Structure 1
Amino acid sequence: MTVGQTTGIAIIGCGYVADSYRQCLSLHDRTLRLTGAYDRDAQRLAAYKATWGDHAYASLDAVLADPACSIVLNLTDPESHAAVTEAAIAAGKHVYSEKPLAMTATEASALRDRARAAGVRLASAPCNLLGESLQTAWAAVRAGAIGKALLAYAELDDGMIHRTHYGDWLSRSGKPWPGRGEFETGCTYEHAGYALTIFGAMFGAATRVTSFAALLVPDKQTTPPLAHPAPDFSVGCIEYENGVVARLTNSIVAPYDHRMRIIGETGTLEIREPWDYASPVILRRPGEGRIARLIERRLGGGLGKRLPMARKVPFKGGRGKPTMDFLRGPAELAAAIRDGRPSRLDEDFAVHITEVTEMLQYPERFDRPARVQSRFASIEPMEWAR
């Protein structure tokens, strides 16, 4: 339900990531109103309520029956996403889902079709595409700062998480980071969207994917051992409809490296951390003379110029605070519904990202190269980045 210009949202799933969303609510107090939260685990729900003081729903049915709630934030574990989203659609609720929208492209397409038949809207994380850093990089591409875009590289290597003390990673309400679930869902499903969304916005739909994936460390030192460990490494080449080719690597084996580069005829844009809305965008020119080439080789990319941000990031991350505004995605969906326009993270886009992600993590399910079936309408940049 929308009251004035505020849209009622409810959280389903009070695990680790729910605190990150809740921590961003104050950034949207004029447009979003939290009606409450629910988790099937009573202890998780109680810990959430004790931390934030929000209304705790007694059941999933109670959430879906509440007329004050217009958008459900589906923050459950990935394997539960489809079932919870389907129930919300049946109840006439719009849904913003944590990634992935579903565990297969077929399942995601079915959710989209059900939502359209029910007259409700879907959108899916990640929402880093809407952040200041990536909007700045996208604006530079549109302005021709690197000439014609030719190639894109993205590293989403997260280090050997299973060798860290991840059991000590607690959210604000004391929820442990769900390592076991992450290892069984797979780092590609968990992380690829952070690159695929911005590449899709910049370059249009992917048309073909050539991928390789492997499980390099089957034993992640969990107790009990993982029943179904997912690939912990993938690398794929993605061809886009505008001719750009991208190479995307995901792993929880190689050392931490989240660098993203967009290479054009006259320069390269580099973003060090696509999970950080304030990550600097560096413009580098290719070395042409002997000295310039030497600098490029010695400095790992050459001298660069930091581009001014499209606007100042309206919050400060770090030191226990998210470096991303997790609620910017739900706020975008709410604004799109109010304005009667497509969401920048709409259901067609979410299906497309799910399909490409599945091709990257499970190449054996598809022909090689895999031809991408899904398409989406062109995405508009944020108004402040035009």
Structure 2
Amino acid sequence: MNFAIIGCGYVADMYMQTLPGLDGITLLGAYDRAPERLAAFTAFHKIHAYPSMEAVLADERVQMVVNLTNPRSHYEVSLRALESGRHVYSEKPLAMTMEEADALAAAARARGLQLASAPCNHLSDVVQALKHELESGRLGKPLLAQAEMDDGMVSALDYSSWRSISGAPWPARDEFEVGCTMEHAGYQISPLVALFGPVRRVTAFSACLLPGKGAEIGVTDPSPDLSIGVLEFDGGVVARLTNSIIAPSDRSLRVVCEGGVATLSDVWEYHTPLRISPTGNGLKARVPRLLEKRLSRFMPKMLFGWRRRVRYGRQVPRTQGGHHMDFSRGIAQLAAQIEKGAPALVSSELALHVTEVTLALQSPASAGQAQVMRTGQDLPAGMAGA
């Protein structure tokens, strides 16, 4: 399937780094509204530069648009692409409000088009391996998930110097104004939904603990830099999800079952180990974790576990962000669903559901009340009764 990229910023380079080796998709070119960014990106990657978005949509060869613009432009760009008759894969979040997200899904449905959004890390080998372990019943019934999405004290770092491989600056203003929950919660929500089915209720708390962050770059309305949510699934499974750009970096996912504990040390790392133990992260597990994280780049074909080993299907390059995360796998998956009838592992229903859960975490109900999710009804059930 032929596709074009709209938006040539920081994350676009990570997509370009992970495109090689994926079958069934062909990049025709890219467009960015900033001429100097477009020129730098297309020259670096040696791809065609479209002079305008109209030129992209006028190219009859383009079957899919990959929307990598900043979050507040996602709705407008995706809607224009859908209205032109193109399938759309968007960076997260799908939209900034549920009204916009619903409108995109309706536009795709009315035209018989496919719509999906990042993140796609629920497609990673390690998450699929964990799903297989839960489905096998060897660990017994899942009870509790503990999900961390802490990125460290970002505001104290020299983020103004961060550049992608083609020279794009790290989008600090978006990160601080859109917020860490909107930007990153999906990396834990997507795996949780893949494992346990749709979220039924969300009880959340959020706060802006560093209101002055980003003032030097013009940030005047920062979003919450901390959110903590309790996600309830069918069958009694409960997950606690924490997002922050304050606490020390931790992107682990731990699933506690009646018969053992499964741990992924970093959901961004497609090469992270799947570790299974009777009781979880004791000293015996924590020490190997540090070694595994440092050595995993040299051992890309194997997941190392205390009791489980799983083969990788594709080696993922190390991206500019310093981690092995296959940004482009979702594009290839959507193309395979459209052209080959592959299982629907990315979809508008999943994108809508992840967006709704994310917004519930970002803007909790008053008095700590639980918010009932209305999306996700057509998503596969989880394995709560395993």
Q: Which position in structure 2 is the counterpart of 1:338? A: 339
Which of 179, 197, 201 is 1:204 aligned to?
197
Per-residue deviation, residues 330-367 of structure 1 (Å, max 9, x unmatched): 00000000124563110011000000000001114898
Q: Once the 2 structures are TM-superposed, how far is the Cα of residue 319 of structure 1 from its aligned partner?
A: 7.5
Per-residue deviation, residues 100-157 of structure 1 (Å, max 9, x unmatched): 0001222211110111001111011001111111111111111123210011010111
Q: Once the 2 structures are TM-superposed, how far is the Cα of residue 199 of structure 1 from its aligned partner?
A: 0.9
Q: Which amino acid aligns with 2:16?
A: R
TM-score (norm 2): 0.90
Which of 72, 76, 90 is 2:69 aligned to?
76
**Aligned partner of residue 14 in structure 1, secondary structure:** coil
Pick closer, same or farther for the CA change 1:268–1:179 going to 2, 3 Å.
same
**Aligned partner of residue 20 in structure 2, secondary structure:** helix
Which of 16, 22, 29 is 2:10 aligned to?
16
Pick closer, same or farther for the CA change 1:317–1:307 going to 2, 3 Å.
farther
1:86-101 superposed matches below 5 A: 86-101=79-94
Q: Which position in structure 2 is the counterpart of 1:172? A: 165
**Aligned partner of residue 223 in structure 1, secondary structure:** helix
Q: What percentage of aligned pairs have identical amino acids?
A: 45
Q: Which position in structure 2 is the counterpart of 1:292? A: none
Matched, 1:351 2:352: yes
Moved more, 367-376 or 58-67: 367-376
Tell me if structure 1 keeps the 8 A contact 2:268–2:323: no
In structure 1, distance between residues paired with 2:335 and 2:357: 26
Matched, 1:160 2:171: no
Q: Which position in structure 2 is the counterpart of 1:293? A: none
Q: Once the 2 structures are TM-superposed, how far is the Cα of residue 286 of structure 1 from its aligned partner?
A: 2.5
Q: Which amino acid aligns with 1:136?
A: A
In structure 2, distance between residues paired with 1:302 and 1:322: 20
Pick closer, same or farther for the CA change 1:197–1:25 going to 2, 3 Å.
same
**Aligned partner of residue 87 in structure 1, secondary structure:** helix
TM-score (norm 1): 0.90
Q: Which position in structure 1 is the counterpart of 2:361? A: 360
Pick closer, same or farther for the CA change 1:134–1:364 going to 2, 3 Å.
same
Give the unaligned 5+ runs of structure 2: 289-304
Matched, 1:31 2:2: no
In structure 2, distance between residues paired with 1:358 and 1:346: 18
Q: Which position in structure 1 is the counterpart of 2:255? A: 262
Tell me if structure 1 keeps the 8 A contact 2:18–2:316: no
Moved more, 308-317 or 175-184: 308-317
Q: Which amino acid aligns with 1:14?
A: C
Moved more, 357-366 or 342-351: 357-366
Matched, 1:61 2:62: no
1:190-201 superposed matches below 5 A: 190-201=183-194
Q: CA RMSD in A?
A: 2.2
1:70-149 superposed matches below 5 A: 70-149=63-142
**Aligned partner of residue 235 in structure 2, secondary structure:** coil
Tell me if structure 1 keeps the 8 A contact 2:10–2:163: yes
Q: Which position in structure 1 is the counterpart of 2:219? A: 226
Give the unaligned 5+ runs of structure 1: 1-6, 288-295, 382-386
**Aligned partner of residue 374 in structure 1, secondary structure:** coil
Per-residue deviation, residues 86-105 of structure 1 (Å, max 9, x unmatched): 00010000000000000122
Pick closer, same or farther for the CA change 1:367–1:279 going to 2, 3 Å.
same
In structure 1, distance between residues paired with 2:365 and 2:333: 35
In structure 2, distance between residues paired with 1:225 and 1:47: 25
**Aligned partner of residue 202 in structure 2, secondary structure:** strand
Q: Which position in structure 2 is the counterpart of 1:3? A: none
In structure 2, distance between residues paired with 1:171 and 1:302: 32
Q: Which amino acid aligns with 2:153?
A: M
**Aligned partner of residue 218 in structure 1, secondary structure:** coil
Q: Once the 2 structures are TM-superposed, how far is the Cα of residue 262 of structure 1 from its aligned partner?
A: 0.5
Pick closer, same or farther for the CA change 1:221–1:355 going to 2, 3 Å.
closer
In structure 2, distance between residues paired with 1:62 and 1:266: 57
Per-residue deviation, residues 272-329 of structure 1 (Å, max 9, x unmatched): 1100111000001038xxxxxxxx7655779971521243542343687651121110
Tell me if structure 2 keeps the 8 A contact 1:74–1:96: yes
Matched, 1:242 2:235: yes
Tell me if structure 1 keeps the 8 A contact 2:14–2:319: no
Per-residue deviation, residues 160-192 of structure 1 (Å, max 9, x unmatched): 101111122111100111111111111011111
Q: Which position in structure 2 is the counterpart of 1:323? A: 324
Q: Which amino acid aligns with 1:8?
A: N
Pick closer, same or farther for the CA change 1:241–1:165 going to 2, 3 Å.
same
**Aligned partner of residue 273 in structure 1, secondary structure:** coil
Pick closer, same or farther for the CA change 1:314–1:216 going to 2, 3 Å.
same
In structure 2, distance between residues paired with 1:176 and 1:319: 12
In structure 2, distance between residues paired with 1:316 and 1:132: 14
Q: Which amino acid aligns with 2:271?
A: A
Tell me if structure 2 keeps the 8 A contact 1:210–1:236: yes
Pick closer, same or farther for the CA change 1:298–1:311 going to 2, 3 Å.
closer
